[in-house]
A = this chain, B = another copy of it.
């Protein structure tokens, strides 16, 4: 086999292992080889160690970790037996995933529909498509298709009808926008990837909220950016409980001190905390970013999801509406309001930057499929108010169901109750989120551990619970979580050698 592997050096693996925290064993008797094997397995399933990474030779790793060679050899043997390592004499050992395992990247990867019967997926925060509007829009889009199908179908900036619909929606939300300020991308992630490729260089500093959206953080890390996390501050909210907001002083300090290339923020029903940032804090951030020469990259993926905000209360205006110096680039998505399977997102920026991004994408996805753009344009038109009301009612019902079930079954856990967004950001009362996630894989519930949303292992004692499962599923999901938490607390062995205990749904 030709070498398509990344080689992990002994010091690099030692550093990674130091961040792979397993749950404490109930007794002190867990042998060292089992700890090492468990840590490597955790790194692979979380996607922090790529599949196909060539591990150090046993002797080298033993030296680096100050373990006996037998310990490393036995750990490798355990991993081979479980399907997490392949070895060939003379060629080395490289990480793998056992047959049937989900792709790496923790529970943020989706379970295919076929498998949802046996595992409750609390990993992916993405709702189903809103019916019947979605089916009707697809049928109308197919009617329009012949016009487009007579040409080559390539639209680097997007199909005009969707660029117009997105611009119109911005204008409705209080931010006058023309179609030439809009680039249609393959999902919001496609937009973030493109912006990052063009605007962020290796070694550039990027200020990010802590916590923030896990995949963006990882994408920035992979591109060689240096993350500067800025924690949230918690102040009493309208319901008396703590509500997250930006820590203005900390943002000032970071922007002034680090002068980052980019500040990446999610000001509307933040993922994962649900924070909604007011206009005054938005203005303060813009002023500080302007003084520092930083671009503000606003992720509006969750901006339309204010399921707990009364109709009569006006929402803060988009950050770009407060921007007087063209320093804001906005990324938006149809994935949460319409459907993730459309893979429709967009970038709103100055027309010259839109053109530059369109030129750049020729070397990645070339363009976004036409039919999905036509469907999104249909749904952003006349059906939008009904679609939005439908999706928000669904999220609201699930949020209230979790808010009722969690304190009952897991009274030590806590979370700020958001007024919108896709998730609850749950503090697990000292229980390791990574351990919960790993135990959940075998306990019939997938959940995303908190440290995926932070840098350097922060938020170890958090999990993110998405609001995109049906409300009726919530009691069963919380029941499984409670059972998994009980096992993780008791410190039982984790991993595929455990017998999976099917739980009643």
Question: Which residues does A use to contact B, with CB under 8 Å?
Answer: 1-4, 47, 50-52, 86, 96-97, 103-105, 108-110, 112-113, 116, 124, 126-129, 131, 134-135, 138-139, 142, 145-157, 160, 186-187, 189-190, 193, 198-199, 215, 218-219, 222, 289-290, 293-296, 325-327, 329, 339-344, 350, 352-353, 355-356, 358-360, 362-372, 375, 468
Check if A1 sits within 8 Å of B340, measured CB to CB.
Answer: no
Residues on the B chain within 8 Å of A219, using CB: 363-364
A124 and B366 contact, CB distance less than 8 A? no
Given contacts A109-B156, A215-B363, contact A341 B149 (CB under 8 A): yes
A350 to B, closest residue via Cβ: B1
Please measure, in the bound complex, the distance between the C-alpha atom of A50 and the C-alpha atom of B353, giving whole angstroms: 10
Measured between beta carbons, the chain B residues less than 8 angstroms from A468 are: 152
Asked if A138 contacts B142 (CB within 8 A), the reply is: yes
Specify which chain B residues have a CB less than 8 angstroms from the CB of A341 in the assembled complex: 148-149, 151-155, 369-371
Known: A47-B359, A186-B365, A369-B371. 16 other contacts (CB 8 A): A4-B198, A50-B359, A86-B352, A103-B157, A110-B151, A110-B154, A110-B156, A112-B155, A112-B160, A135-B146, A218-B363, A341-B370, A365-B365, A371-B372, A371-B375, A372-B372
Q: Which residue of B lies closest to A127 (CB)?
A: B152
With CB as the reference atom, state the residue of chain B lying closest to A104: B359
In the complex formed, the residue of B with least CB distance to A149 is B129
- Selected from B149, B215, B355, B364, the residue in CB contact (under 8 A) with A104 is B355
Count of identical protomers in the assembly: 2
Give Cα distance in the complex from A2 to B323, angstroms. 11
User: Which listed residue, B2, B352, B372, touches A295 by the CB 8 Å rule?
Assistant: B2
Assembly CA distance A150 to B135 (angstroms)? 11
CB <8 Å contact, B96 and A352: yes
Contact check, A142 vs B135: say whether CB atoms are below 8 A apart.
yes
Is B51 a contact of A2 with CB atoms below 8 Å?
Answer: no
Contacts of A294 in B (CB 8 A): 2
Cα separation A305 to B135 with both chains bound (whole Å): 35
Within 8 Å by CB of A153, from B126, B289, B356, lies B126
Look across to chain B and name the residue whose beta carbon is closest to the beta carbon of A147. B113
Give every chain B residue within 8 A of A193 (Cβ-Cβ). Answer: 363-365
The 20 listed contacts between A and B (C-beta, < 8 Å) are A1-B350, A2-B325, A2-B326, A96-B352, A103-B355, A103-B358, A109-B154, A110-B154, A112-B155, A113-B147, A113-B148, A128-B150, A135-B146, A153-B341, A187-B366, A189-B362, A189-B363, A340-B366, A369-B369, A372-B372
Q: In the complex, are the beta carbons of B187 and A103 less than 8 A apart? A: no
Complex Cα spacing A295 to B358, Å: 30
B105–A362 contact, CB under 8 A? yes
Min distance, Cβ A32 to any Cβ of chain B, angstroms: 28
Which chain B residue has the least Cβ–Cβ distance from A221? B363
Residues of chain B with a CB closer than 8 A to A355's CB: 51, 97, 103-104
User: Given the complex of chains A and B, what is the CA–CA distance between A4 and B197 in angstroms?
Assistant: 12
A124 touches B152 (CB 8 A): yes
Cβ distance A433 to chain B, nearest Cβ, rounded Å:
19
Do A156 and B103 touch across chains, with their CB atoms under 8 A apart?
Answer: yes
Q: Which residues of B contact A108 (CB under 8 A)?
A: 362
Q: Is the CB of A153 within 8 A of B342?
A: yes
Q: How far is the CA of A199 from the CA of B47 in the complex (A)?
A: 17
Judge whether B369 and A343 touch: CB under 8 Å: yes
User: What residues of B have a CB within 8 angstroms of the CB of A327 in the complex?
Assistant: 1-2
Nearest chain B CB to A354's CB is how many angstroms away? 9
Q: In the bound complex, what is the Cα–Cα distance between A131 and B142 (angstroms)?
A: 13
A298 to chain B, nearest CB (A): 13
Separation of A195 and B183 alpha carbons in the complex (Å)? 25
Docked-complex contact A365 and B343, CB < 8 angstroms: yes
- Pair A356/B50 contact, Cβ less than 8 Å: yes
Determine whether the beta carbon of B342 is less than 8 Å from that of A109: no
Q: A194 — nearest CB in chain B belongs to which residue?
A: B364
Instruction: List the B side residues contacting A353 at CB < 8 Å.
Output: 4, 52
* A47 contacts across to B, CB distance below 8 A: 359, 362
CA distance A125 to B134 in the complex (A): 33
Q: Across chains A and B, which 8 residue pairs bring their CB atoms closest together, nearest first?
A: A153-B341, A2-B327, A129-B149, A126-B152, A219-B363, A341-B370, A113-B151, A343-B369
Q: How far is the CA of A363 from the CA of B192 in the complex (A)?
A: 9
Inter-chain contact B199/A4, CB cutoff 8 Å? yes
Known: A103-B157, A190-B364. A151 touches B116 (CB 8 A): yes
A124 (CB) vs chain B CBs: closest residue: B152
A150 adjacent to B113 (CB under 8 Å): yes
Which residues on the B side are within 8 Å of A156 (C-beta)? Answer: 103, 109-110
